[in-house]
Structure 1
């Protein structure tokens, strides 16, 4: 009888520990879109160098990443944005600027260790030349 109670207690503790480790994904922001076909993006907003950067729109080919695929993203920001960074606690991408207020990347996803297969909060960070930043979070799943 004591062994059964011990097993149940251990199972309950293990379940609570597992629930505590689950990543809680943020919702998709209103200015973000996902899909194979690019959407109409707005024009960059012209702002002075001392103004905080603004993220106007972002588009990702997918937020459900799979091995052996290509992942891309494009961003429209205010013209005073010096850099856009796409990151999780696993990786960081400095997105190349193609024009003032326009950034884009394209990556081939080869493989990753099984331990990295899970959900992440994807952070998109826009910074101006003074280091002032604007940040948004999106849900990302690596399968």
Structure 2
């Protein structure tokens, strides 16, 4: 999420002079980079949002209110992430318990799971004495002689 600080390109600990420089830097970049042509609607909206950010951050009382609201929003977001992590942990625990219960009721599943997870070195090697069947062309050639 972009904050007002991000719009102006300054840090949250920025002083008033840094906020002014950030606002003017972005203002000049958009107005001078346009080459005197009329601004597109998107550029007008961007300049308006930067102006609003400057007005909020340049007033100490508005800035304090914004910082409190931003901190509350980040706290809420962090709580939601914590809840999501807890739900994931419970889901994996339940899945593990289900696997234990199922494997105790169906021992054949446990053998299949063990065989599929076994390393290749523990599997029996193919026999070396197995003969390959003759190809049809080879058997025809020997029969015609």
Whether TM exceeds 0.5 here: the answer is: no
| Greater relative contact order (CA < 8 Å, ≥ 6 in sequence) | 1
TM score, norm. by length of structure 1: 0.25
